Each structure stands twice: as structure tokens, then as C-alpha cells.
Amino acid sequence: MLGVFTLLSLGSLVALVRPPNVHAVRCRRCCDHLEPAEGSGDQPPTRGFNHVPEVRTYINMTILKGDKGERGDRGTSGKAGPEGLPGSRGPMGSKGSKGQAGLPGDACKVQHSAFSVGRRKSLHSVESYQALVFDTVFVNLDDHFNMFDGKFLCRVPGIYFFNVNIHTWNFKETYLHIMHTEREQAIVYAQPSDRSIMQSQSLMLRLELKDEVWIRLYKRERENAIYSDDVDVYITFNGYIITGSQGGN
């Protein structure tokens, strides 16, 4: 019994003796990785790292997404931007349908002009030209025909129709002209004959404002005359506007 205890004691002594060629190794404990005690002055173990690793938090938003909210109110409109350049002209559109007829115009705005006059006296030629003057009025709208000088004065420009009727004298020549101001426009002529006859002439003229139309008896280079009496009207002069116009001759 004593021998066994002696061997165990010697073994313990042998185990505690470090061999001469072996370096001392620091003993590690299970708590060496913990922070050193406050105030000890010891540095915390680094375990071979040169810096402390950064810790970042990551949140998985998919597991936090809620239900869709209601639509918000519409915001105020922003300021208008600068005006852009004009675009190119587009193609011509198709022709539209015909519109309805308009209302009739005001009748009082339509201008009229007309006259019809006659002569109950015969007339012989003299040394100069004569205007045929009339003594009987059938129609004379607004007095456009001057009964004193036998001339129609245009107050409504346009196209007019004129007509003259005369009765010849036996054995005498009949020679007259329808005059437009001072220009000869148409002739009324009949040769001397033992019988008197009715002669007529008509034409249309484009008249401007203040133009005149009248009948001129030829001067006495020939025996020239027209016949009438106090009972019947053999000589007439008529004219009226066909359409108003602003055009020239």
C-alpha cells in the first residue's frame, strides 16, 4: 500500500517537470473569449482579427407589406409650359353637306328704278339736235326720269332695258338715236313714205351712277319729223333696271 502511494507521488512530480526543449504554452480557459474585467487594463482578445466586424440590420419588407391604401386627392395643376412651335398645316377636309336655305332678305333694301313716259305732240327737226321731251307720265319711280329735259338719270347702277316707239310722218324721214350720256347707242330710222308707220327700237345698257339715257332727234340736214296728236299717244319711251351691278361698262 505504501509502495503504490509512493509511485503516484513520483508520477505527479514527473508530470509537473517541463522538458528542457519545450516552450511554455499559455493555458486557455473557457472564459478567455469574454471581455476583460473593468479596470484591469487588459486588451480584449482579437482572435486573429485586425478590426471588429460591422453589424448591419436587414429587414425583409415583403413580410411587412400591408394592404393597398385609398387613392389620394389630385394635386394642383402646374404652371403652363412655353408655347410650342406651330405645326404643319393638315390636309383639307372633305366637303361638307349643303346647308339650309337662308331667310328671305329685307324687301325694303332692294332698289328699283323704272319709268314709262309718252308724248302727245308732233316734232320737226331744227338747225341743231333736239332732246325728245315728253308730256305724259305712266310710271316714274322716285322721279328718276326728268320730265323737263327728257332724260333718265341713273341713281341705281346696274343693267337696264330701254325701249322707244315712234310714229313716222307721211313723206318725211324719221331719224333718231338712243343716247347714253353723249354717245349714240342705237338708231330709230324710217325712210320717207306716203304712209306713216310705227317704228320701235330696244336695247340693254350697263349704267353707272349719274349716267343719262335720252332720245335725240337729228338736226335739219334732212326733213326729219315724228307724228303724234292730242287724242292718242303715238310716242313712248320706257326703261327699267334688270339687275343691280357695281361693274363698269
- Render each residue's pLDDT in the chain as its tens digit; 249 residues: 545 444 444 444 444 445 555 555 555 556 555 556 666 666 665 555 455 667 677 666 666 667 777 888 888 888 888 888 888 888 888 888 888 888 876 655 668 999 999 999 998 888 889 999 999 999 999 999 999 999 999 999 999 999 999 999 888 889 999 999 999 999 999 888 888 889 999 999 999 999 999 999 998 777 888 998 888 999 999 999 999 875 444
Question: What's the pLDDT score for residue 130?
Answer: 92
Q: Where are the domains of the chain?
A: 114-244
Question: What's the pLDDT score for residue 15?
Answer: 43
Q: What's the full length of the chain, in residues?
A: 249
Question: What's the pLDDT score for residue 19?
Answer: 55
CATH 3.30.420.10, applies to 114-244: no
Strand partners, 103: none
- Measured CA to CA, the distance from residue 124 to residue 226 in angstroms comes to 7
Contact 163, 238 (CB under 8 A): yes
Question: What's the pLDDT score for residue 45?
Answer: 59
Question: What's the pLDDT score for residue 85?
Answer: 84
The percent helix, strand, coil of the chain (3-state, each to 5) is: 10, 30, 60
What predicted TM-score, i.e. pTM, was given to this entire model?
0.55
